[in-house]
Amino acid sequence: MSVQAAIEKKLQDIFKPDRLDVINESHLHAGHAGGFDGAGETHFRVRIMSQSFAGKSRIERHRAVNETLKAELASGVHALAVEPAAPGEPVRW
């Protein structure tokens, strides 16, 4: 299973989102420190809308997502941009 598929499955299973977009942005980071060529699955953006975020602060939402993906963050995911929302909240996506 790809890293992206694993992230999508975990987030679906835990948060039961109304909307979920997991975007591999690794290619946008080519040329960064260490000679990174932009290949692979190391940089992701997660846009997630879930009722489970209702009444929670932005920090609580980020912590919940990071805790869910701690194995991926420990084993190769270098960057994770999280854009969490509850249904009915305005989003830029």
Map out the domains of the chain as residue ranges: 3-85
pLDDT value, residue 87: 97
Could you give the maximum distance between any two Cα atoms of the chain, in Å?
Answer: 42
Give the chain's count of helices (H) and strands (E).
Answer: 3, 3
Backbone CA torsion sign across 79, 28, 57, 7: negative
Query: ∠17-73-19 over CA atoms, to 5°?
Result: 15
Average pLDDT over residues 30-36: 53
- Which of 25, 28, 47, 43 minimizes the C-alpha distance to 93? 47
Q: Is the pLDDT of residue 25 over 60?
A: yes
The position carrying tokens 């948060």 is 15
Q: Looking at domain 3-85, which CATH architecture does it have?
A: 2-Layer Sandwich (3.30)
Average pLDDT over residues 32-55: 80
pLDDT band at 7 (very low <50, low <70, confident <90, very high): very high
Both tokens assigned to 52: 């489970």
pLDDT value, residue 81: 96
pLDDT value, residue 37: 52
